[in-house]
Amino acid sequence: MANELQQEIDLFLQYLMQEKRLSTHTVSSYRRDLTQLELFCQQQNLIEWPLITAKHIRQFISQLHRQGLAGRSIQRCLSAIRSLYRFLIREGLADINPALVVQAPKTEKRLPATLDVDQMNSLLEQTEQDTMIGCRDRAMMELFYSSGLRLAELAGLDLRDIDFGDQLVYVTGKGNRARVVPVGQKAIKALQVWLKKRDDLGFFEQMAVFITQQGRRLGVRSIQKRLSHWGKQQGISEQVHPHRLRHAFASHMLEASGDLRAVQELLGHADISTTQIYTHVDFQHLASVYDSAHPRARKK
């Protein structure tokens, strides 16, 4: 009877390969996760799937967590167990799916790496503006850092989207949500230098803000390559890419203002929890704010 669990796991894996047409790699992952569950069940003298309850599944998940398995891997394992029970119920080998009410530990979301203020100043101030490409790239980086735009937002900008009088940029972000973001003085100046260079080269009819030497809209891959080029040129060890500049904008804004809600609006995040994950605030800054603001933290 002890092999009954394994026999039904094998039936399930056969079903995945023959009927669901899953890849060998995916099926191997299912096999690895479910074999761990089978070993746990044998240790608990659980010899049939209907005997396994939500409590047992929680104990198994807790064991994986104690063993140091990453949250994402535990989520994958729990998903495999749920899929197995759906199959067993369909085949009449189980009545309920005990894994449905079990939650995996929350996966720790890694903070995106950022650039500090000195690195940003070095990157922006030392980017040459003598050539068309230099002018364009400086304007792109200034705008990324000034307004926290996403890569697709910047690539899709048209001339009508920038209000130089009020120093604003109009963008449409994720979920087709429109927002208006301020543009700093240095970014405005860099954009003006770039657009004059563009006009001097005769690109009057192209509505895209950032274009190639041939007058076509600059694509997202090309923008990524240009930022990476300037990062290497300035000797910045970390790779420079649009997401990092957007994160630097968010980090530096939050560190200076402490206004999470305002940063959320500037970034265009629908949920403030995304902003909390996205931004990185130096702990010493948080500690100093706490010490100065909390009535029970102040030293006499």
State both tokens at 49. 């799937």
Is residue 231 a contact partner of residue 123, using CB atoms and an 8 Å limit?
Answer: yes
State both tokens at 70. 């990453």
Nearest residue to 145 via CA among 221, 240, 226, 283: 240
Q: Does residue 246 carry a catalytic annotation?
A: yes
Q: Does residue 269 carry a catalytic annotation?
A: yes
Choice among 198, 246, 247, 252 that is catalytic: 246
Q: Does residue 294 carry a catalytic annotation?
A: no
Choice among 20, 32, 174, 189 that is catalytic: 174
Q: Does residue 30 carry a catalytic annotation?
A: no
Q: Does residue 241 carry a catalytic annotation?
A: no
Q: How far is it, in rounded angstroms, from Cα 39 to Cα 213?
A: 63
Choice among 56, 197, 198, 269 that is catalytic: 269
Is residue 60 a contact partner of residue 94, using CB atoms and an 8 Å limit?
Answer: no
| Three-class DSSP labels, 140-183 | HHHHHHHHCCCHHHHHCCEHHHEECCCCEEEEECHHHCEEEEEC
Q: Does residue 243 carry a catalytic annotation?
A: yes
Neighbours of 10 (CB within 10 A): 13
Choice among 30, 85, 145, 278 that is catalytic: 278
DSSP conformation letters of 210-241: SB-TTSPBPPHHHHHHHHHHHHHHTT-SSPP-
Choice among 136, 138, 150, 252 that is catalytic: 150
Going across the sheet that includes 178-182, the strands are 162-163, 168-172, 178-182
Choice among 86, 186, 243, 280 that is catalytic: 243
Q: How far is it, in rounded angstroms, from Cα 70 to Cα 226?
A: 35
Nearest residue to 238 via CA among 126, 113, 110, 127: 113
Give catalytic residues, as residue numbers. 150, 174, 243, 246, 269, 278
